[in-house]
Amino acid sequence: MGAIAARLGFLLVAAALLAPAVPVHAQASGYDSLGGCQGSWIRQFGLDVLILDCQPGFATQHDRAYQYSRTPVDPNGDWRTQLNTDDAVWLFDAGATGRASLIVDFHHENGAAVADFYDDVAGNGELRYGYERGYPRSVESRFPTVKVTAPDGWWVRGGVVNYNLHIVVDGAVKASFGYERFLDQVRNDGQIDWTIDVHDPKGSGRPKWEVIQATPPVSDEWAILRTLVMVNEADDELVPSTWILWPHLGVAGPDPDSLPKLPEPRPLWGIPGAGFGVVKNYNSTFPPIQIDWAHARVDSIGEFVASRGRPHNWFTYSLYQVGTPGHTVADWENPFAFYDLAGADDGYPDLVIRDADFFIGDHYASENVPGPSNEIRYSWDPKHEHKWSFGLHLYGRRPMPAIVDLGNGTRFTSVPYAEFPRWVVDNPWAAVSMTAIEKPAYWTTEGLYEGCGIGGDTPYYTGQTTDPGSGTLDSSFVGLRCEYVSYSNDVPKLYVSAVDHKVHLVGSELGSWQIDQTEALRYGSLGGPYLSTWEHLSSGTQVQQLISTNGKLLYADRSGVQIANGPSRPDLFEIVPPSDGPSMQAFRRAVDAVTPLGDGTDLKVFFDQFGKAEAVFPGARVWDVRRTADGFAFLLQLAEATDAPAWAANLGPGTYRVSYSDRTGFAAAAARPASLSLAAPRWKGDQPSELTPTRLTVTVRNNGDESLTAVPILFTVARKGAPGQTVASTIVDVPADRAVEAEAIWPATAAGDWEIRAVAPGTDAVSSDATTVRIAPAPPTDLSAILVAQGLRPFAGSAITASVTLLIALAVGIGLVVWRVPRPDDRAA
């Protein structure tokens, strides 16, 4: 046995001696930031340690790095040939201070290449370490902060970087978008806080997609981004060309205030933008594992695949975890997609679509807007000039149409990237708003944010008001023109107006363009799919007014009122939002072909394009324009007598109701002043009773030609023959020659007969006839009534009484016994 062992030992030693030194550091095409380094060797604990002294360094002007190779090295060879990122421990000393900033342990596990990152988890700016069998090892934590695994077993091969990676993060590293919500909850404690899987299915040296699972130790109640998926559909992801030693090792931002003169090629820290954080920027890419060398911390793990930094990418940020077994229902930003419909291939998108999606029963949805719900932003840049020009905001309740399967078990509900634009523009949506940018430039990486406030948690959508305009049309966004349809249920359609030559939304009810701090245009509709009223406001005061309806134009300003024949059609043409290359091109051509009318803000220019006015009323005023069955009507106040046109001949100064019929033309008659009448009030619903609010209602009729707005209606109650007191009130708008119902709640606090009246107060106060209402008394709340209400059986009362009696008897009995004459055997302590 001894001889055999000796022979085997000899063979092993011989094999070791004969084997060449095998440093394993396959170099990818690019620069490893080690150009300023000088290599030297020392022998320590029986190991040949390579020391790199670098000026400029990999992180500062002067750094050091130490390589403790586990495989044989040749200290006599060129140190560059001895670099080992396959099976070696690297200790980095940024600043050459003699303190460790980072330890990376490259090794293999079950055939996979692994890199374990140890950093300063104590927060003192230094990684404390010791030696284990001659190799440096963190004494701050036995758990690596970051562990990168390449299951294929190699990092770089033939100049190609391996982007099939599995990364786990354990500690406060900024490893996913939205980390701010929970970063203070995570610790380096052996529990995985993030898992990142990067995929390069073709092995092309470019990552195609990645999925991040955030699993911090927080409750399910926390609305955090749990799964983040980024996909490059064009397979053209940019990859870093400069790194530190290893293709994924980088530097954290921000950029230094002033960079010293550095030799070319510059080390990574000398390249602006290298510390990009989490989100990749347009047309640049740097190593994602970013080290804060000054503080000895792994600072961030940025995107391998850009979320919003490439024009053929899309991402999903789901609050629910998906991509793990049994979890396929995604929500929140699902998907968020970017397109280069112009084919410019300059790294920028010209269409961005984002769906904020919640499914049925989604716990993270607003309790006022249960799922399924979609709030979509659809922004496009028709000239591909990096300026968002138009945007749609769409709201609807539509489930995700498909399961998107990326492979490796990552499948979830979403809209496939290729179908997303058409899914949006070809489907009907409940509400739509359109925003057009009228200022020189607007650009964000996520498209056009501002809309008119439709959808979601807004007062109209949650039923707090019946006014669709409530909460919309924020005037703070100067240079943005916005209009909306509050309830459409149609596909989104656009048109170019024959009146102002601007792109508008079909079906718009209201719109606004805040031209500057004081000037604004307001748009409105008298009904129908096209805008028909324009107002120019200056500091909130109307200075111009234009109405286009039934082929007629009414223009009013301080000088008076003019009437002319308007366009035969309200639109020059209809157009659909672009959803592919041809439609983007068609949109651009169509819009470019329209001649602008001045700067688009002067309503007189709009009016004048249609020729001479057929009627001019100097000093006149027009208001209360409304559609009628076969035309329209308005109130016209004449300041002076007029004899033309024929329908206005011989009209003296005064107020007239002017009506227009498509068949008979204009007609004018003296306007009847507004006049209200109130019917006797009624109550609705259950029989009124005390402390049960009673719903009172009254019919309010306007018998005049002038509409009334904000009319207060009071309800008074009184005992028979007694003076009344106001108990409820409401406010109503009463159009001319129409009746409306006014309702209010009366919390009756006393039973009996009450006489109710409705009153419209004011100088011409109107009161209704009285209605007598009988209020039933509130239910009794004495003990017997409550026992009956409880539904207790007859014997229960007796049982309750008996048990209470027994309790009292026992208490009394104990008292009597306790205070009896003391017995000698009463126990002493």
Partner 1 sequence: MGGGPAPEADDARWSISVVFSFALIVGAYFTFRFSGRWVEGDTASQADNIRAMIRDMTILSPSGVLYSNGYAFSAVSTFIVAFTGVKIETLLQLIYPLVSATLVLVAWPVYREFTGSARAATVATLILFVQPEFLFVILRGSHERVLRVFLLLSMWLLLRSFRHADKTPLYATYVFLFYLTVYGTIATNSWFGSSYVWALATALVGSWVARWLGPGLRPVSLSTQRRLLYVPIFAGVLAFLFNSYIYPPSGQTLGQIPSILDRLSRLMLTTSPDPSTTRYNAYAAIFDQWVDIRVYFLLSLGTYLLLAGSAALWIRMGLRWLAGVGDRPTLGRWLLWLLYGASALQGAMSVVADNAGMLGGNLQYRSFPTFVMMASPIVAIGLTEWRPKPRTRVLASGALGILALLGIAKATNDPAVSNGWSFYLPSEVSALRFLGDYMKEGQLYWSDFDERLRALRILVNASNLTPTLDPNAVGLRTYLISDIIRARAARLGRPVPPVTGELRIYDDGDVQIYRKRSLTPYQD
Among positions 76, 219, 595, 763, the unique one binding partner 1 when judged by CB under 8 A: 219
Whether the upstream peptide bond of residue 56 has omega within 30° of 0, thus cis, is yes
Task: Between 281 and 462, name the residue whose CB sits nearer to partner 1.
Answer: 462
792 binds partner 1 (CB under 8 A): yes
CB of 780 closer than 8 Å to CB of 789: no
Q: 558: which 2 tokens?
A: 């301080």
State the Rg of the chain over Cα. 39
Counting every residue, how long is the chain?
829
Q: Minimal CA–CA distance to 534: which of 551, 548, 519?
A: 548
Residues 746-765, interacting with partner 1 (CB under 8 A): 747, 749
Q: Which residue, 372 or 581, has its beta carbon nearer to partner 1?
A: 372
Q: Which of 1, 5, 15, 783 lies at the binding interface for partner 1 (CB under 8 A)?
A: 783
Q: Are strands 560-565 and 112-118 parallel, antiparallel or unpaired?
A: unpaired
Residue 4 interacts with partner 1 (CB under 8 A)? no
Could you say whether residue 781 binds partner 1 (CB under 8 A)?
A: yes
Cβ atoms within 10 Å of 194's Cβ, excluding its own: 23
Q: Minimum distance from CB of 369 to partner 1 (Å)?
A: 8
Distance from C-alpha of 426 to C-alpha of 419, rounded to nearest angstrom: 10
Nearest-angstrom CA–CA distance, 445 and 441 = 13
* CA distance linking residue 542 with residue 259, whole number of Å: 56
At closest approach, how far in Å is the CB of 809 from partner 1? 7
Q: Cα separation of 159 and 542, whole Å?
A: 69
When binding is defined by CB under 8 A, the residue of 109, 132, 220, 385 that contacts partner 1 is 220
Count Cβ neighbours within 10 Å for each residue of 374-412 and write b for 16 or more, e otherwise: bbbbbbbbbebeeebbbbbbbbbebebeeebebeeebbb
List the x/- string, 393-432, binding to partner 1 by CB under 8 A.
Answer: -------------------------------------x--
Nearest Cα neighbor of 35 from 243, 253, 254, 271 is 243
Q: Phi, psi at residue 738, to the nearest 5°?
A: -135, 165
b/e sequence 704-715, b meaning 16+ C-beta within 10 Å: bbbbbeebebbb
Give min distance, CB of 335 to partner 1, in A: 24
Q: At closest approach, how far in Å is the CB of 523 from partner 1?
A: 22
If binding is defined by CB under 8 A, does position 234 make contact with partner 1? no
Nearer to partner 1, 629 or 818 (CB): 818
Q: In angstroms, what is the minimal distance from the CB of 510 to partner 1?
A: 15
**Considering the rule CB under 8 A, would residue 463 count as an interface residue with partner 1?**
yes
Nearer to partner 1, 119 or 357 (CB): 357
The minimum distance between CB 807 and partner 1, in angstroms, equals 5
Piece of the chain touching partner 1 by CB under 8 A; list 138-146, 281-289, 598-606, 810-818: 810-818
Min. distance of Cβ 706 from partner 1 in angstroms? 27
Which residue carries 């009746």 as its tokens? Answer: 739
Residue number with CB closer to partner 1 (466 or 568): 466
Query: Which tokens belong to 66?
Result: 């130490």
Residue of the chain from 43, 612, 663, 827 that contacts partner 1 (CB under 8 A): 827
Shortest spacing between CB 128 and partner 1, in angstroms? 24
Q: Half-sphere exposure (CA, 13 Å, Cβ side) for 192? A: 11
Query: Which of 234, 750 has the CB closer to partner 1?
Result: 750
Letters for 356-375 (x = contact with partner 1 by CB under 8 A, - = none) are ----xxxx-x-xx-x-----
Q: Give 645 or 813: the residue with its C-beta nearer to partner 1.
A: 813
Of the candidates 504, 585, 593, the residue with the CA atom closest to the CA atom of residue 548: 504
CA distance 39 to 37: 6
Residue 803 interacting with partner 1 (CB under 8 A): yes
Which stretch in 28-36, 186-194, 213-221, 379-387 sits in contact with partner 1 by CB under 8 A?
213-221
* Footprint of partner 1 on 318-357 (CB under 8 A): none
Q: Where are the beta strands (DSSP E) in 94-239?
A: 102-109, 112-118, 129-132, 135-138, 146-150, 156-157, 160-161, 165-169, 194-199, 209-214, 227-232
Report the number of secondary-structure helices (H) and strands (E) in the chain: 6, 50
Contact flags string 477-516 toward partner 1, x per CB under 8 A: ----------x-----------------------------
The DSSP H or E segment spanning 676 is strand 676-678
256 prior amide bond cis, ω within 30: no
* Single-letter residue type at 352: V
Q: Which is nearer to partner 1, 324 or 767 (CB)?
A: 324
Nearest to partner 1 of 288, 507 (CB atom): 507
The least CB distance from residue 465 to partner 1, in Å, is 8
Q: Which listed range, 80-88, 265-273, 569-577, 798-806, lies at the site for partner 1 (CB under 8 A)?
A: 798-806
Of 81 and 368, which has the nearer Cβ to partner 1?
368
Q: Is the CB of 143 or the CB of 746 nearer to partner 1? A: 746
Identity of the residue, 462 or 661, whose beta carbon is nearer to partner 1 in the bound complex = 462
Question: How is residue 382 written in tokens?
Answer: 């028709």
Residue of the chain from 464, 517, 628, 709 that contacts partner 1 (CB under 8 A): 464
Query: Is residue 797 at the binding interface for partner 1, with CB under 8 A as the rule?
Result: no
- Among positions 20, 254, 791, 794, the unique one binding partner 1 when judged by CB under 8 A: 791
Beta bridge partners of 314: 231, 337
**Number of amino acids touching partner 1 (CB under 8 A):** 72
| Strand partners of residue 22 | none
Q: Which stretch binds partner 1 (CB under 8 A): 55-63, 238-246, 647-655, 744-752?
A: 744-752
Task: Retrieve residue 284's tokens.
Answer: 């640049």
Least Å from the CB of residue 487 to partner 1: 5
307, 280 contact by CB (below 8 A): yes
**β-pair type (708-718, 739-746):** unpaired
Q: Which of residues 399 and 653 has its CB atom nearest to partner 1 in the complex?
A: 399
In 244-368, the DSSP E strands lie at: 249-251, 289-292, 297-301, 313-318, 332-339, 351-358
Q: Scanning residues 641 to 670, which ones bind partner 1 (CB under 8 A)?
A: none
Task: Determine the residue type at 128.
Answer: R
E-strand spans in 156-279?
156-157, 160-161, 165-169, 194-199, 209-214, 227-232, 249-251
What residues have CB less than 8 Å from 237, skipping those under 6 apart?
206, 207, 208, 285, 304, 305, 306, 310
Q: Which amino acid is at 592?
A: D
Residue by residue, what is the 3-state secondary structure of 9-29? HHHHHHHHHHCCCCCCCCCCC
Q: What distance in Å separates the CA atoms of residue 162 and residue 159, rounded to the nearest whole number?
A: 10
User: Considering only residues 524-563, where is the footprint of partner 1 by CB under 8 A?
Assistant: none
Provide, rounded to whole angstroms, the least separation between the CB of residue 431 and partner 1: 8
Of residues 203, 611, 786, 798, which one binds partner 1 by CB under 8 A? 786
Tell which one of 11, 403, 745, 765 touches partner 1 (CB under 8 A).
Answer: 745
Residue 468 in the binding site for partner 1 (CB under 8 A)? yes
259 binds partner 1 (CB under 8 A): no
Piece of the chain touching partner 1 by CB under 8 A; list 58-66, 336-344, 532-540, 792-800: 792-800
Which residues between 443 and 462 bind partner 1 (CB under 8 A)?
460-462
Q: How far is the CB of 469 from partner 1 (least distance, A)?
A: 12
- Among residue numbers 677 through 696, which ones bind partner 1 (CB under 8 A)? 683-686, 688, 690-695
Q: Which of 12, 402, 649, 812 binds partner 1 (CB under 8 A)?
A: 812
Residues 221, 257, 592, 643: which binds partner 1 (CB under 8 A)? 221
Of 603 and 727, the one with the shorter C-beta distance to partner 1 is: 727
